[in-house]
Amino acid sequence: MSLRSQLLKGVLEGCILSIINRQPTYGYELSVRLQEFGLSDVSEGSIYPILLRLQKEKLIEGTMQKSELGPKRKYYHLTEAGKEALIEFIEQWETIKLPVENIIKKEE
């Protein structure tokens, strides 16, 4: 795995938890959101292995529901463990975000 994808993997999980936390979301919608936020390099399909892993770790749960228009969809929501994991992710992100930015800026 390239450094790029390793870097992205953990961050992407955190972002997915964060988006699902705002409101129940289904797969396609989730990938649209990620792209809207600028993560356009993330290939669309790559969210599904992550969603499966998050379900296996019991951080999210999905239920098949009728959508307003269109077919049935699997909507995800966070479990209690998922909410804790999200808080933890945000804390960890805060502790590395500034130092990393400072280091990179000095390089320039």
Report the interface residues with other proteins, using CB under 8 A. Answer: 26-28, 31, 43-46, 48-49, 51-53, 55-56, 62, 64, 71-74
Q: Which amino acid is at 67?
A: S
93 closest CA partner among 23, 41, 15: 15
19 closest CA partner among 49, 47, 43: 47
Q: Is 105 exposed, middle or buried (0-12, 13-18, 19+ CB in 10 A)?
A: exposed
Nearest distance in Å: CB 43, other proteins: 6
Nearer to other proteins, 9 or 93 (CB): 9
Nearer to other proteins, 47 or 86 (CB): 47
Length of the chain: 108
| Beta-bridge partner residues of 76 | 25, 62
Nearest distance in Å: CB 56, other proteins: 5
Nearer to other proteins, 32 or 90 (CB): 32
Nearest distance in Å: CB 27, other proteins: 4
